[in-house]
Each structure stands twice: as structure tokens, then as C-alpha cells.
Structure 1
Amino acid sequence: MIGPLAWNILLAMLWMGFTGSFTGTNLFIGLALGYLVLAYALRGIPAFANYATKVPRTIRFIGFFLWELILSNLKVAYDVLTPTYYMKPGVIAFPLEARTDGEITIVANLISLTPGTLSLDVSSDRKVLYIHVMYLDDEAEVVKSLRYLEHRALEVLR
């Protein structure tokens, strides 16, 4: 059986073929129209209903992560460019809600992609992720922001 993403891509390709314009903009329009068609016409089928909710979550997560990435880059750049040393590095043990190897890998990589944090290791029972943090002013606040990142990522993955 063809999945909802494949159907969406197929509908986008058909749109591009019918319009005769093979551009990135037209592909995006075709994907958006295909998504609307699938979300509305096939909303009674569980696989397609799940797809209809995951696409907006994924788009919101990408926007959220890009914003976090920009803020982290600005914080690190400010610290590098100013003479005052604001860093208070440390290692924290972050309890994971992610359970599968894939979820843990994605969460750890998202944390490592953000400047100022680096995933070091996962405990042998896969319940704790050890993270090096450059700005460890308030450990509870750091854990809270990482928990929010993990929660948003797991919303998309599950």
C-alpha cells in the first residue's frame, strides 16, 4: 500500500505535469494542494488522518527549532565577541522520555545541533542522556528547555 506521503508527492507531480511548470514554487503549491485533498477527502482512513495532523506539527517543529537555533547562535556569538566571559560549563543528566533508539538518536542530535549543548552519552538503561552545557546558570531551567525540545520532537515522531 502506498503511504500518505507518497500520495502527496504523486499528487504534487501530477499538478506540476498538468500546469507544465516544473519549478520549486509549483512543487510547493502542488504539495500544499495535495495535502489539502488528502486531509479532506480521506479523513476517515486512520493512516491519512494521522498524516493530516503530523504535517502541521512537523512544520511548527521546524519553525520552533530554527528559532531556537538562531537564539542559541546569537547567545554564543555574543559571548565570543564580548570581552566578558559568561560561560559556566557543566554536565547534566537529562532524564529521557524518548524510548526507542531512533527517538533517542534524534533527540540527542537535535540537542547537539544547538550551539551551547552537546550530547555526550546515553546511560546503559537508555533512560538518561548526559549533556555538556556551556551556560549552566540554572540547571532546572536548562532541563526545562531541553524537556520542551524533546516533547516537541516526540510529538512529530510518534
Structure 2
Amino acid sequence: MNPTDSEIQLKIGRDVESVGWSWIWVFDPGEPAVPSFAYTIGLFRTFSHPEVVVVGLPESTSHAVLEAVFDSVESGARYASGSVSDEILNGFSVRFEDVSSVLAEENLVQAFVFNSGEVEVLQMVWPEKNGKFPGDDGAPSWLEERQKLHS
């Protein structure tokens, strides 16, 4: 582990201890075609709940969405693959889907370090303005690509 990782993990540990969770924003300024994403760290340890990743939203929106997920889980909600919630985005439903272990380990590195390699991950998938999710009939083609985790 390099010193930067240690500093990051110390901050994550302090966040989880004081408020129950932390989050990480991931982006590649050199590769704008790869969608940015954000994910929780601490839901697994604090609530035995899968960590949650959201892809393709701006940083401030991602934080607000993940904070809403945390608040919902803290209040007793439990999400699994296929769960739908109207509690996260005002006026829209969101859906939760499994993330393959390979994609999860490649992309949510700090969650795996924090949880000593033992963590489940769900992706919170958001709809476009007409309520269509990626893969739905009539959903715009950009929607799936914008929410895709890359390896």
C-alpha cells in the first residue's frame, strides 16, 4: 500500500466511524469517453448492505444520490438486484442491479481495500427524463453507454 492509499483509507475509516459511510468520486480527465462514477464505502460494514455505485452523473449529483441511498438504508431499506425505489431521485424511480465481481473489483478498489476484499456491490441505475431505463424499449441509445462500468 502506498502512502496515498493509506491517507485515503484513513479518511474513509474516519468517515465510516463518524457518520457510517464514505464515498469516492472516480473520473479520468484524460479519457472523457469513459463515464465517471461514484460509490459508497461503509454500507457493507455498517449495515451488512451491498455498497452502491452510480455511473454517469455529475459529481455533486452523484454525492446527493449516494447520500439519499445511505439515508434510505440507515432508515431500514434494503436493496437487492431488481429492487426499484422511488425514494432516491425526486420524481423518478431508480433500479438496482448486480455488478459482476470482476467489474466491482476493478472499479471499486477502495471499497475492497476497506472491506478486506469482502464486499457485495449493486449499481443504482437511473432513467432518462421519460422514465426509460437502459435496455427498455424506446430508451435512448446513449443511456446504456453512459451508465456502463468499464474494465
**Does TM-score exceed 0.5, indicating one fold?**
no
TM bracket, shorter-chain basis: under 0.3
More strand by share: 2
Rg larger in structure: 1
Q: Which has the higher contact order (CA 8 A, sep 6+)?
A: 2
- What TM-score, normalized to structure 1? 0.24
More helix by share: 1
- What TM-score, normalized to structure 2? 0.25
